[in-house]
Amino acid sequence: MRRKRFLRAGSRYHVAARTNNREILLESDEARALFVSVLERAHEKYRFSIDSFVIMGNHFHIIILPGEGESLSSIMQWIMSVFARAYNRRYNRTGHFWGDRFASWVLDSIRQILRTILYIEENPVKAGLVDRSDVWIWGSLWHRRNRRLAFLSEPDSWLS
């Protein structure tokens, strides 16, 4: 029996999920662009904002704030299942895409939020993919500077 997920209304969450068997399925720009497009579609369906995100070769990280009355589990289940179906269809693939359900951690303080944002944004640097996180096109820092995504929160909202 799996452990019950701890959810708290009005909280921000660090969410992460990894591909099945840690396969490198999110490496292509096309796959990553598909994931961003699913986030955009999810934002049309559900009320939420994302403070930070990064898409790596076999996993993603997101800091998400579900809107009032929205369920983190419903949002993430929709994102992950819609993406998996779209990916499998596009790449003529069958079977599981994700290795397990998503992991989530409540972020209780501004310090935790900022520390987690730094961790997420530095993921591609630590992986040796880029020298600076602001040049990683598949992360929120690049998108804040170059392409506005409707689901990205304003930094001043992190303080409230």
**pTM of the predicted model as reported, rounded to 2 decimal places:** 0.92
Is 151 within a domain?
A: yes
pLDDT tens by residue, 49-75: 999 999 999 999 999 999 999 999 999
Domain count, the chain: 1
User: Which is nearest to 59 in space by CA: 126, 109, 143, 9?
Assistant: 126
Residue 149's CB is within 10 A of a number of other CB atoms, namely 14
- Which one is predicted more confidently, 9 or 126? 126
Is 1 within a domain?
A: no
Q: Residue 62: is it exposed, middle or buried by C-beta count within 10 angstroms (0-12/13-18/19+)?
A: buried
Q: How far is CA 137 from CA 20, 54, 119, 121, in A?
A: 24, 9, 16, 11
8 pLDDT more than 70:
no
The CATH number assigned to the domain holding 133 equals: 3.30.70.1290
- The residue segments making up the domain with residue 105 are 12-159
Is 62 within a domain?
A: yes
